[in-house]
């Protein structure tokens, strides 16, 4: 099979039309880059992903000033008014002071303005420049997690439990805010609109599935609809246990799903989703990638390809790399993506 461009490869995997190999998507935290330095960057160059290694390049940008440590705790306020705290070089952090601490603050709260129309015009020009080689994505905006940030997680779960009017108003306003950009990005000609909400604990959803279907499913469907109506793909990242709602996400238009499949059982997820939605894998980042042997890392990659990728496509290979991951496991992960991800998957017959 002739080698494809990254965009051709990703579309073929998502649409089950036969890629030349499984597409690859890297994510590496800054702490891992600072730990391993050039050796990790060289590995990424040797085994590049199908997105220009953009996430790795982005996380090499932060520089430490003299006297700073990556474990220093820093605080900042985002554009929505929420104050955050995190370690300098690692995670996105935690909410320190929410933007809407009480519903008394809601009537006077103002959403940040949308970008000017010139932003979307420039984005459309950028899409034309990057096609046909690159697969172009745009964010659909935050939703469930973002509303937690605005209210504070404990407040927000109480809001849902009490079914107060404010929680409905906030959700509907957030949908409308997101649709403004979604519709413009779709018109700009993107290949995919991305969403990300972590819905699961280790062994169950964070709320009852019935509440999820009643409150969140129709609102997600509204945000997905402009993309799906235009033939644009919907990419949904979600950590934790979501087994009960995978069918719902497929029903309302998700075409790329990034679940934490290991905690639910990789094959159990494949029994529901295999061949129906493209899976961006989450090779076990809790245990195997950081603490397993290189052989176990390779085995986990092969398991994911066998479960999700044997449908004339259907898989995007990804494994998150944190600062605790040894270099030999990163090498095993990336090399296995290339060694076992080529189509046809002849090794499955052995």
Position 62 scores a pLDDT of 60
CATH of domain 6-69+102-349: 3.20.20.210
Burial of 106: CB neighbours in 10 Å, binned 0-12, 13-18, 19+: middle
Position 76 scores a pLDDT of 87
Whether the Cβ atoms of residue 28 and residue 55 lie closer than 8 Å to each other: yes
Output phi, psi for 317, to 5 deg. Answer: -85, 130
Position 288 scores a pLDDT of 98
Partnered with residue 258 across adjacent β-strands are 237
Partnered with residue 97 across adjacent β-strands are 83
What is the rounded distance in angstroms from the CA atom of residue 11 to the CA atom of residue 232? 11
Q: Express each pLDDT in 134-179 by its tens digit.
A: 999 999 999 999 999 999 999 999 999 999 999 999 999 999 999 9
Residue appearing with tokens 């935690």: 94
Grouped pLDDT means (10 residues each) for the chain, 350 residues: 92 98 95 92 97 90 66 87 82 88 97 97 97 97 97 96 97 98 98 98 97 98 98 98 98 98 98 98 97 98 98 98 96 98 91
Position 87 scores a pLDDT of 75
Position 70 scores a pLDDT of 65
Whether the Cβ atoms of residue 135 and residue 50 lie closer than 8 Å to each other: yes
What is the rounded distance in angstroms from the CA atom of residue 189 to the CA atom of residue 23? 21
Whether the Cβ atoms of residue 262 and residue 297 lie closer than 8 Å to each other: no
Whether the Cβ atoms of residue 247 and residue 272 lie closer than 8 Å to each other: yes
Q: How far is CA 31 from CA 9, 49, 175, 292, 318, in A?
A: 30, 20, 34, 19, 18
Position 86 scores a pLDDT of 81
Position 31 scores a pLDDT of 83
Residue appearing with tokens 């996430």: 55
Position 18 scores a pLDDT of 97
CA 21 to the chain's CA centroid: 21
Position 42 scores a pLDDT of 97
């Amino acid at each position: 099979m002739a080698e494809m461009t990254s965009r051709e490869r990703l579309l073929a995997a998502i649409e089950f039309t036969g890629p030349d190999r499984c597409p690859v998507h890297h994510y590496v935290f800054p702490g891992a880059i600072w730990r391993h330095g050039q050796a990790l960057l060289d590995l990424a160059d040797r085994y590049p992903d199908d997105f220009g290694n953009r996430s790795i390049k982005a996380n090499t940008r932060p520089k430490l000033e003299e006297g700073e440590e990556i474990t220093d705790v820093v605080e900042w306020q985002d554009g929505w008014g929420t104050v955050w705290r995190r370690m300098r070089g690692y995670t996105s952090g935690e909410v320190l002071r929410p933007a809407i601490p009480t519903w008394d603050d809601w009537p006077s709260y103002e959403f940040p303005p949308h970008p000017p129309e010139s932003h979307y015009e420039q984005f459309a020009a950028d899409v034309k420049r990057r096609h046909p080689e690159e697969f172009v994505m745009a964010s659909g905006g935050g939703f469930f997690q973002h509303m937690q940030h605005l209210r504070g997680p404990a407040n927000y779960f109480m809001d849902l439990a009490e079914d107060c009017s404010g929680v409905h108003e906030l959700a509907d306003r957030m949908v409308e805010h997101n649709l403004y950009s979604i519709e413009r990005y779709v018109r700009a000609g993107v290949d995919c609109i991305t969403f990300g909400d972590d819905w699961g604990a280790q062994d169950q959803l964070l709320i009852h599935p019935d509440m999820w279907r009643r409150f969140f499913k129709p609102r997600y469907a509204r945000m997905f609809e402009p993309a799906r109506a235009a033939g644009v793909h919907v990419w949904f990242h979600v950590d934790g246990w979501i087994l009960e709602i995978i069918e719902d996400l497929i029903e309302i238009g998700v075409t790329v799903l990034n679940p934490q499949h290991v905690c639910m059982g990789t094959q159990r997820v494949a029994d529901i989703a295999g061949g129906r939605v493209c899976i961006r894998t989450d090779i076990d980042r809790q245990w195997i990638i950081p603490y397993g042997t290189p052989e176990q890392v390779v085995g986990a990659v092969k398991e994911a390809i066998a479960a999700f990728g044997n449908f004339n496509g259907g898989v995007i290979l990804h494994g998150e790399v944190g600062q605790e991951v040894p270099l030999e496991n990163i090498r095993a992960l990336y090399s296995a993506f290339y060694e076992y991800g080529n189509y046809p998957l002849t090794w499955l017959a052995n």
